[in-house]
Amino acid sequence: MSIMGDNLKGDGHNDKIKQSGNGKRKHDNPIYGNYRSYYNKRRRQEEDPRLSQFKLEWFENKDVLDIGCNSGDLTIEFVRKLKAANVLGVDIDRGLVARANRLAKSNYARHSALQLNDAPFIPVSFLHIMGSTKWSPMDNVKFLEMDFCASEEVEESAYDVITCLSTVKWIHLHHGDEGVKRLFRKVYKALRSGGRFILEPQPWQSYRKKRWLSPEIKATFQSIVLKPIQFKEFLLNEIGFASCTIAGAANDGSKFGSAEGCKRDIQVYTK
């Protein structure tokens, strides 16, 4: 999942993502983690296995921010399956955000059609034309092109839950230790008292595999002191989270990571 950039509308990073000097599209070499087929590679099951690690009580009737939402597949499930009240997904990549908004709209259309029991058939095109209604289950999911880490200000105590799933590595490789520390401080500020920060950090060996993506990334990689294994200590002792629990590691059988698939611990911090 990707979350790089500078502001809500973008600052040129998206141009770099879209086009490189040799005319190739930059997402063919996704140096910001902006994989176009992330969810196809990440999972082989119909449902993202990480959902089984999330408790309903963490999300139900809660305001949620998903940092690095990619194309929004998992983000939408926070509403559909975990019954969140409102969800905002943010990502650097304009194309992925547009895809996420289309996905949310198509989910709205399918669910709305199921609820219109008075009619035998409601074309999806009709629902797109007529727009949202007050009972649409997707009205409470929004996606924005944004860099939460680099934005100047963050609304204090705005969210009950903030998720950052398989994203922090990309912030780390582009902005180093200071970028990650800034991210963690802003997450803490944006959470309400008792709120949860759900973090799925990538292991150090996955950093090593990506250090060759660019000379800049290689230089940043070599400067890193705060390793992923140290995040817990930093978040508890320096940032101020009260506790940390491990939700578990969802083995999704994907192409990512080891032969067993992508299997990463999900850390849950409570403010």
- Is pLDDT larger for residue 20 or for residue 189? 189
Mean pLDDT confidence for 220-241: 98
Does the pLDDT value for residue 14 go beyond 60? no
Predicted pLDDT of residue 7: 37
Q: Does the pLDDT value for residue 162 go beyond 70? A: yes
Mean pLDDT within 128-147: 68
Per-residue model confidence (pLDDT) at position 220: 97
Band of residue 231 on the pLDDT scale cut at 50, 70, 90: very high
Mind listing the pLDDT tens digit for each residue in 200-226? Answer: 999 999 999 999 999 999 999 999 999
pLDDT tens per residue across span 36-76: 554 455 445 567 888 999 999 999 999 999 999 999 999 99
Whether 2 shows a pLDDT value over 70: the answer reads: no
pTM passes above 0.85: no
* CA-based nearest residue to 191, from 235, 163, 165, 158: 158
Averaged over 125-139, what is the pLDDT? 51
Q: In the beta sheet, which residues pair with residue 243?
A: 270
Q: Which of 96-105, 143-152, 176-185 has the lowest mean pLDDT?
A: 143-152
Cβ(164)–Cβ(197) under 8 Å?
Answer: yes
As a whole number, mean pLDDT of residues 92-101 equals 90
Mean pLDDT across the stretch 99-113?
A: 74
pLDDT tens digits, 238-260? 999 999 999 976 555 454 444 34
User: Which residues lie closer than 8 Å to 28 by C-beta, 6 or more apart?
Assistant: none
CA distances from 92 to 5, 29, 142, 220 (A): 5, 15, 14, 20
**Which tops the pLDDT comparison, 135 or 197?**
197
Residue 156 has pLDDT above 90, yes or no: yes
Task: Evaluate if residue 94 carries a pLDDT over 50.
Answer: yes
Give residue 120's pLDDT: 46
Percentage of the chain lying above the pLDDT 90 cut: 54
Closest by CA to 159, choosing from 99, 231, 90, is 90
Averaged pLDDT score across all residues of the chain = 78
Question: Under the phi-then-psi rule, with left for phi > 0, alpha for psi from -120 to 50, and beta for the rest, what region is 27?
Answer: alpha
